[in-house]
């Protein structure tokens, strides 16, 4: 089968023929893939900025394909365990420890194979698993977002932020977003967000707080110097969900903002098997369609990775596999 092979740090992925790894037929099933999606995780792996690198390996956590004659999506969350609060020490994400979805076929645990939401194309469904699960957990399981909440989502345009935006709108929350690009804010408004502000402009952020009257829920994947501004925008009793740190450590955080306002900060990443099923049901019930920015062929995977580096996208980057 054809696959994109990760052979070394800062080396292009190699489009080549590979064999499926040996697998236990009782536990694993083989999915014939139709589409796979990229995540920021894949880019960091190619740059060597991820633990447990393995060479050679097939990257890719998100996939949609055919298994036992049915269209399916793959849950990339492996060995979460029985405790819904956090994952086990054996936990990993598909696409490094075990070969992933940047290939024509992938062997995955049968319990991680789920029916594809019927209203989605293969490319749309492939965009859903990792980012959709992460957004669902941080928004609902951790921050308990509900109808009527005023929700602020930072860095709109990335996969998790967009799903959090779509999910919060679907549940009846009033959603606002931040971005350094006005066009991304405008696209979020077209999806149903109420408005937004440039996070690089403190005055614009203050004006957004005044416009909205403060926020009940804040969803952030950046951290860094801007986190303190997000704390200032919270109402009393607000819940803050943190799923990433692309901008680094929380510098200059005003701790009194946390205790005087009785704020709750929740760390979150990925999710349990139960949450994956709940997320798919939510997507099907609300007919949510993942935003796909661009589709590449599997053979053009390196161009897709480079697009992740430049970060111009609004939505997911997807690889179409086969005809």
Taking residue 131's Cβ as centre, other Cβ atoms within 10 Å add up to: 25
Residue 226 belongs to a domain: yes
> 176 and 251: one domain?
yes
Work out whether strand 195-197 and strand 174-178 pair parallel, antiparallel, or are unpaired: parallel
pTM of the model: 0.96
Residue 323: is its pLDDT beyond 90? Answer: no
Number of structural domains (the chain) is 2
> 231 and 296: one domain?
no
**SS3 label, residue 85:** coil
Confidence category of residue 132, pLDDT binned at 50, 70, 90: very high
> 241 and 215: one domain?
yes
> 141 and 222: one domain?
yes
Residue-wise DSSP of 248-276: -S-TT--HHHHHHTT-EEEE--S--HHHH
User: 225: exposed, middle or buried (C-beta count within 10 Å: 0-12, 13-18, 19+)?
Assistant: middle
Confidence category of residue 1, pLDDT binned at 50, 70, 90: very high
Residue 23: is its pLDDT beyond 90? Answer: yes
> 183 and 95: one domain?
no
Residue 274 belongs to a domain: no
Residue 281 belongs to a domain: no
Residue 34 belongs to a domain: yes
Residue 221 belongs to a domain: yes
> 80 and 155: one domain?
no
> 263 and 154: one domain?
yes
Segments forming the whole domain that contains residue 192: 133-267
> 111 and 151: one domain?
no
Which CATH number is 242's domain given?
A: 3.40.50.720
Q: Is the dihedral of CA 272, 35, 122, 287 positive or negative?
A: positive
> 81 and 169: one domain?
no
Residue 26 belongs to a domain: yes
Confidence category of residue 28, pLDDT binned at 50, 70, 90: very high
Helices (H), the chain: 40-46, 122-126, 129-136, 159-171, 182-191, 202-212, 227-232, 255-260, 273-286, 301-310
> 91 and 155: one domain?
no
Residue 311: is its pLDDT beyond 90? Answer: no
First to last CA, the chain: 14
Residue 288: is its pLDDT beyond 80? Answer: yes
> 13 and 71: one domain?
yes
Q: What's the average model confidence in pLDDT over 274-282?
A: 98
Residue 213 belongs to a domain: yes
Residue 41 belongs to a domain: yes
> 114 and 225: one domain?
no
């Amino acid at each position: 089968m054809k696959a994109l092979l990760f052979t070394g740090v800062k080396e292009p992925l190699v489009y080549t023929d590979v064999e499926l790894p040996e697998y236990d037929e009782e536990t694993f099933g083989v999915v014939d893939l139709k589409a796979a999606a990229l995540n920021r995780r894949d880019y960091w792996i190619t740059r060597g900025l991820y633990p447990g690198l393995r060479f050679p390996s097939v990257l890719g956590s998100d996939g949609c394909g055919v298994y036992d004659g049915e269209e399916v999506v793959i849950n990339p969350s492996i060995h979460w365990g029985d405790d819904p609060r956090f994952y086990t020490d054996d936990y990993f994400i598909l696409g490094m420890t075990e070969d992933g979805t940047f290939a024509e076929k992938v062997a995955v645990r049968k319990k991680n194979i789920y029916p594809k939401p019927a209203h989605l194309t293969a490319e749309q469904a492939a965009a859903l698993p990792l980012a959709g699960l992460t957004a669902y957990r941080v928004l609902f399981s951790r921050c308990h977002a509900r109808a009527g909440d005023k929700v602020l989502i930072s860095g709109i345009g990335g996969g998790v932020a967009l799903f959090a935006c779509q999910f919060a709108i679907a549940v009846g929350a009033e959603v606002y977003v931040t971005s350094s690009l006005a066009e991304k804010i405008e696209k979020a408004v077209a999806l149903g967000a109420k408005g937004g502000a440039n996070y690089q402009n403190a005055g614009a952020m203050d004006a957004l707080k005044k416009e909205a009257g403060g926020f009940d829920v804040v969803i952030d994947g950046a951290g860094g110097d801007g986190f303190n501004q997000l704390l200032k925008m919270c109402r009393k009793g607000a819940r803050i969900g943190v799923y990433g740190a692309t901008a680094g450590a929380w510098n200059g955080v005003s701790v009194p903002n946390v205790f005087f306002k009785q704020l709750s900060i929740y760390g979150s990443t990925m999710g349990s098997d139960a949450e994956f099923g709940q997320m798919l049901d939510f997507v099907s019930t609300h007919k949510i369609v993942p935003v796909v920015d661009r589709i590449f062929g599997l053979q053009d995977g390196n161009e897709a990775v480079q697009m992740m580096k430049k970060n111009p996208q609004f939505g997911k980057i997807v690889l179409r596999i086969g005809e």
